[in-house]
Amino acid sequence: MHIRFTKMQGAGNDFVVLDETQARLGLTTAQYRFLADRHFGVGADQILTVRPSPAPGLDFEYVIHNADGGEVEHCGNGARCFVRYVRDKGLTDKSTVRVKVQQGEIELRMNPDGRVTVDMGAPVFDWERVPFNPMGLISDQVNGWPVFDLALGDLGIARVGVVSMGNPHAVQRVDNVDTFPVLAQGPLIENHPAFPKRVNAGFMQIVSRSQIKLRVFERGAGETLACGTGACAAVVAGIRQGWLDSRVDVQTHGGVLTIEWAGQADSPVLMTGPATSVFEGSIDVPDTL
């Protein structure tokens, strides 16, 4: 199968973007893995697919596959690339679009400075919806918000706040993200039995009430240069625990994302950051892998 693609990145989180507005490509899990492979394919953290509107009031459908080929619920950096893609390709001339994602709808806005703001929706704290099973875990409260101790064998305990931003996140505060054993702890947290659909592991260093440093070990992708939903989850966790103000700059290895949240459970989280096209191309994807 010969397909065209666009390579994009948002704060270093990189994507292969596919246009299915005219017809479905019908890719298999193995073919998504091939596209994401950095040695044999194009190389990407996620594959983003643009599909036509599935219902009145929506402009597009937005589908995300991780590098391991599995479909996932949400990707904030990808959402910013999505709106730049549909505008650059002439698929819409709107500066604000609404799109369907796996578990709901999101609104994306192109700003005059070229950055993109994504209304990520309200954070989810209901354990069943995250999903998260705290049975048997030691828990505590920080500023009235529950935190949980995850046993990581020889690596000790990770004390995490749990939240979903359309996908599950476990966020812990660390003293120094540069020296913390992210690559050792990340897989253990991702696959901890308390998370039936696995989890994204966030490691947050608080610089001030308006600035944090963040590394994220993403479910199905490993550590990435940036994670949009992870940045949102970290700021929400920091605000709930009384450490952060309502507007926070998140420094990732790939760049800075600005996250805003009013602090009420039903308030949407707003994320603003860059989205850039890297190159366009075409590739032959094997029919069988």
Q: Which of 113, 132, 60 is nearest to 91 (CA)?
A: 60
Active site residue 75: yes
Active site residue 227: yes
b/e burial code for range 171-184 (CB count within 10 A of at least 16 → b): bbbbeebeeeebee
Catalytic one of 227, 257, 259, 270: 227
Residue 168, helix vs strand vs coil:
strand
Contacts for 158-161 with beta carbons within 8 Å, 24 or more apart? 158/185, 158/189, 158/201, 160/189, 161/237, 161/240, 161/241
Query: Do 11 and 257 form a contact (C-beta atoms < 8 A)?
Result: yes
**Spatial distance between the Cα atoms of 127 and 55, rounded to a whole number of angstroms:** 29
Catalytic one of 35, 42, 67, 75: 75
The catalytic site residues sit at 75, 227
